[in-house]
Amino acid sequence: QVQLVESGGGVVQPGGSLRLSCAASGFTFTRHAMYWVRQAPGKGLEWVAFIGHDDGTNKYYADSVKGRFTISRDNSKNTLYLQMNSLRAEDTAVYYCARAAFYAFDIWGQGTMVTVSS
Amino acid sequence: QSALTQSASVSGSPGQSITISCTGTSSDVGGYNYVSWYQQHPGKAPKLMIYEVSNRPSGFSNRFSGSKSGNTASLTISGLQAEDEADYYCSSYTGNTWVFGGGTRVTVL
């Protein structure tokens, strides 16, 4: 079945780095653009980043993460990544990867928790 | 990238219909027919309910319908059921970025 599985979350100190992964299965990964979306504890959803379906030439970021986060993909491994640098307390959230379809987020992973704390 | 505006909560009795609104600007909701809606139960990942303003993913209940007028999109849930109690989020494409609403808590009385 169509599935997205995130990994790589954890506890990191302010200013630190973390790389999240999202393993895709059950669909043709190269045909779909992908997103990262996050949700701070008790808060709403926030779009984080987008990457096009092909070699990832098209990448877009929310202002809140621009210059600190980098989205990438390895189509040979059916895997999406989010490299997060210069982490701040306000980056604490559950991070979801999601598949793009019709400018919407049509399939979601279960999420991975990132906690930025000293 | 300001969040879209949703009412904080809406409630209804089983069998009733409720409508959740999502207000943006001409740069997002009003400028594109790429509004989508998501249902999220506590501790779970969001689930796509409506895309492109009014389209339902195949196999999804027709009790959920979407519409848009100007800068405001709406999600209507008809024949409210206990399992519809959840948080609902709207989202809009804004031209190489996306924005979500703050979420609406739906309570079934």
Give the Cβ contact number of residue B50 at 10 Å: 25
Range B32-42 average pLDDT? 97
Range B10-37 average pLDDT? 97
Question: pLDDT at residue B1 above 70?
Answer: no
Q: What pLDDT band is residue B59 in, cutting at 50, 70 and 90?
A: confident
Query: Chain A: nearest CA to B82, how far in angstroms?
Result: 22
Query: Given this model, what pLDDT does residue B81 score?
Result: 97
Q: Can you give chain A as a three-state secondary structure string?
A: CCEEEEECCEEECCCCCEEEEEEEECCCHHHCCEEEEEECCCCCEEEEEEECCCCCCCEEECCCCCCCEEEEEECCCCEEEEEECCCCHHHCEEEEEEEEECCEEEEECCCEEEEECC
Instruction: Report pLDDT digits (tens) over B86-106.
Output: 999 999 999 989 999 999 999
A71 neighbors A49 (Cβ within 8 angstroms): yes
CB-CB: which of A45, A102, A110 is closest to B51? A102
CA separation (Å) from B8 to A22, A26, A31, A38, B87? Answer: 31, 36, 36, 19, 10
**In chain B, residues 10-69 whose CB comes closer than 8 Å to chain A:** 32, 34, 36, 38, 40, 45-48, 51-52, 55, 57
Q: What pLDDT band is residue B8 in, cutting at 50, 70 and 90?
A: very high
CB-CB: which of A50, A63, A110 is closest to B1? A63
Average of per-residue pLDDT values in chain B: 96
Which one of B4, B48, B49, B92 makes the best mutation probe of the A interface by having the most chain A beta carbons within 10 Å? B48
Query: Given this model, what pLDDT does residue B17 score?
Result: 97
Helix boundaries (H) for B2-105: none
Angle at B6 between CA B71 and CA B29, to 5 degrees: 25
Query: Chain B: nearest CA to A97, how far in angstroms?
Result: 10
Is the CB of B96 inside 8 Å of chain A's CB atoms? yes
Is the CB of A3 inside 8 Å of chain B's CB atoms? no
Query: Given this model, what pLDDT does residue A55 score?
Result: 73
Chunk chain A into consecutive blocks of 10 residues (it has 118) and report each block's average pLDDT, rounded to whole numbers.
97 98 97 97 97 88 97 96 98 98 96 97
Is the CB of A52 inside 8 Å of chain B's CB atoms? no
Which residues from B are below 8 Å from A63, CB to CB? Answer: 1
A108/B47 CB distance under 8 A: yes
User: Pairing between strand B9-12 and B104-108?
Assistant: parallel
Angle at A81 between CA A83 and CA A115, to 5 degrees: 55
A45/B89 CB distance under 8 A: yes
